């Protein structure tokens, strides 16, 4: 990843972390889990695939968002550079 992608990713992660309490699945720090292994296995078997699908979809959407932000930043930079070079 180039420098712009790193900056945008950092800003996006910071944005998500500041609003982590509003999302059920995101946490700022790990939650201590006190489940029995049998209930965890049942939960995993029923919801595991949905969770994996959600995480994959979520990461794809984040990648798409960052790509769109990068294009927007580059377009703005091009306009600013053109205006700067006119003067």
Q: What is the pLDDT of residues 35-79, one digit of tens each?
A: 554 554 455 555 667 777 887 898 899 899 999 999 999 999 999
Global pTM? 0.60
Determine the Cα–Cα distance for residues 48 and 38; give it in Å rounded to an integer.
14
The total number of structural domains in the chain stands at 1
Nearest to 70 by CA among 1, 8, 3: 8
pLDDT at 59: 86
- CA 65 → CA 23, 24, 62, 75, distances in Å? 18, 21, 5, 15
Domain limits for position 82: 3-27+36-86
Binned at pLDDT 50, 70 and 90, residue 83 comes out as very high
The set of residues, in sequence order, having a beta carbon less than 8 Å from that of 1 and lying 6+ positions away, is: 9
């Amino acid at each position: 990843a180039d420098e712009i992608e790193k900056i945008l990713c950092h800003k996006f992660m910071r944005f998500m972390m500041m609003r982590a309490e509003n999302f059920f699945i995101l946490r700022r720090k790990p939650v201590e889990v006190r489940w029995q292994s049998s209930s965890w296995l049942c939960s995993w078997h029923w919801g595991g695939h949905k969770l994996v699908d959600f995480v994959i979809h979520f990461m794809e959407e984040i990648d798409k968002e960052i790509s769109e932000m990068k294009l927007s930043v580059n377009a703005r930079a091009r306009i600013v550079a053109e205006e700067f070079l006119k003067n």
